[in-house]
Every structure is written in C-alpha cells, then in structure tokens.
Amino acid sequence: DTAVSQTPKYLVTQMGNDKSIKCEQNLGHDTMYWYKQDSKKFLKIMFSYNNKELIINETVPNRFSPKSPDKAHLNLHINSLELGDSAVYFCASSHLVPTTTNEKLFFGSGTQLSVL
Amino acid sequence: RKEVEQDPGPFNVPEGATVAFNCTYSNSASQSFFWYRQDCRKEPKLLMSVYSSGNEDGRFTAQLNRASQYISLLIRDSKLSDSATYLCVVNRDSYDKVIFGPGTSLSVIP
C-alpha cells in the first residue's frame, strides 16, 4: 500500500564503492525526483524525471546517474562513493501539469547513506 | 541570496502558545507555495498549501504576500505533537521544481 517506496532504508559502504538506491511509486504520478538532505538538514533537489525523461539536473556530479525504466520507477546509481556523499536521499513523486499549481510532493521514507 | 530563506530556529514554546514562522523567497515568478512538516528521521509531508488570499486549516493559518515575497505560518494552541521542523517550499517554475527552505525547528514543551 506504500505510495512511494525506496530501498534500502540504510546503506553503509566504503569509499570508492558503487551503489544503487531504488524507488517506486504506485500513485500513477508523471514526475519523480531525487532529493538529498545533508547533515545540516537542508533538502536539495538533485534530479527530476517526467515520463522517463530527465527534466531537472541540478549540477550534481556525474558520479550520480539516475535511471528511469518507466514512469513508476526512478533509481539512483552512485559511482566511486565519497565521504561527502553521506546523507539521506529522498525519492518523491508528483503529478506534473505545467499549467496547474499546488501539486504536492509525496516522499519515500528516505535512504540513509553512510560512506566510511 | 538563497532562493528560500526561513527564520533561524529552534523555537521552544510552551503548550498552548501561538507561534509564527516566516519565510522569504527570491524569485518573483514563483507560482506555488507550501508548508511541509518533517519529523525527526522521517520524510517531509505536506502540511498545507498557501493561497494568495490566505488560508486556514484548524489551528494552522498560512499567509502569502506576493509583493514582499513573504510567506508565513501561524500555529495556534500548540500541541506537543506539533514538535517538528517546518519547511517553507516554493515552486520555482512551471515544471514543478519545488525548492525547500532550510527549515525551522519547533519544540513544544509541556
């Protein structure tokens, strides 16, 4: 029944490793996002996909590669993990109707990534 | 200047108090405004949208001043369960790119 689900909930790994976080939404939304929340709790957008197409890429290092096999899934792959990548990563989704405002975001429960 | 700025916290208030949070945004073309709530170690959840005429939802009142690019949230009769971080959120453009403010932490004390 979970609307936006992401796995894993916790991810502990060594520097230099490659890891993936998966996200799925069953709300029928057109748009999915990845947000990063760092230790200072600041929530920053990383990517946004609309119907499998990238529409927002916020100057994230190219070690981060989002992949959307269909509009219900948006996975995040991270290569060569660095200490500074440690954060909580939130997946989210929303309807995208460019002429309509007040469309809210639905968030997954987050993935706590710790790079050692 | 950051796109969305909020009152620095934390706010520590007694139960029953009224507390107000302020938020300013830099992009005058912003179209949609929201308040989200985030509990510790949880995901953000929508508290309420903010409409031009101001709107109320129970103990919560949101106001928008487009001329001053300012949003506010008023919480009346604070409850212990209101303790959380309150995030001001602005939709920057028509592609629904929402920008989150840094958040204001509220602790309601018995």
The 3 state secondary structure assigned to chain A is: CCCEEEECCEEEECCCCCEEEEEEECCCCCEEEEEEECCCCCEEEEEEEECCEEEEECCCCCCEEEEEEECCEEEEEECCCCHHHCEEEEEEEECCCCCCCCCCCEECCCEEEEEC
Note down pLDDT in tens along chain B; length 110 residues: 788 999 878 999 999 999 999 999 998 888 889 999 999 989 999 999 998 888 999 999 999 999 999 999 999 999 999 999 999 999 876 555 778 999 999 999 99
Does the distance separating the beta carbons of A42 and B102 come in below 8 Å?
A: yes
Contact B32 A101 (CB under 8 A): yes
Q: Which of residues 81-100 of A touch B (CB under 8 A)?
A: 90, 94, 96, 98-99
DSSP string computed for B57-107:
ETTEEEEEETTTTEEEEEE-S--GGG-EEEEEEEE-STT--EEE---EEEE
The pair of three-digit structure tokens given for residue A34, joined into one six-digit string: 């990845």
3-state secondary structure of B47: strand
Chain A, 48 to 87: residues with Cβ < 8 Å from chain B are 48, 50, 55-56
User: What CA–CA distance (Å, rounded) separates A49 from A75?
Assistant: 11
CB contact (8 A) between residue B94 and residue A31: no
pLDDT tens for each residue of chain A, 116 residues long: 669 999 999 999 999 999 999 999 999 998 899 999 988 778 988 988 888 888 777 778 999 999 999 989 999 999 999 999 999 999 999 886 544 555 688 999 999 999 99
| Residue A5 CB contacts under 8 Å (≥ 6 apart), including other chains | A23, A24, A25, A108, A109
Query: Alpha carbon A53 to chain centroid distance?
Result: 14
Distance CA A2, CA A26 (A): 8
A107 with B43: Cβ contact below 8 A: yes
Instruction: State the pLDDT at residue A1.
Output: 64
Q: Give the total residue count for chain A.
A: 116
Chain B residues interacting with chain A (CB cutoff of 8 angstroms) = 31-32, 34, 36, 41-46, 49, 51, 85, 87, 91, 94-100, 102-103
Please give the pLDDT value at position A101.
54
Mean pLDDT over all residues of chain B?
Answer: 91
For an interface test with B, the pick among A35, A104, A114 (most B C-beta atoms closer than 10 Å) comes out as A104
Q: Å from A17 to nearest chain B CA?
A: 25
The closest alpha carbon to A45, from A70, A72, A66, A20, belongs to A66
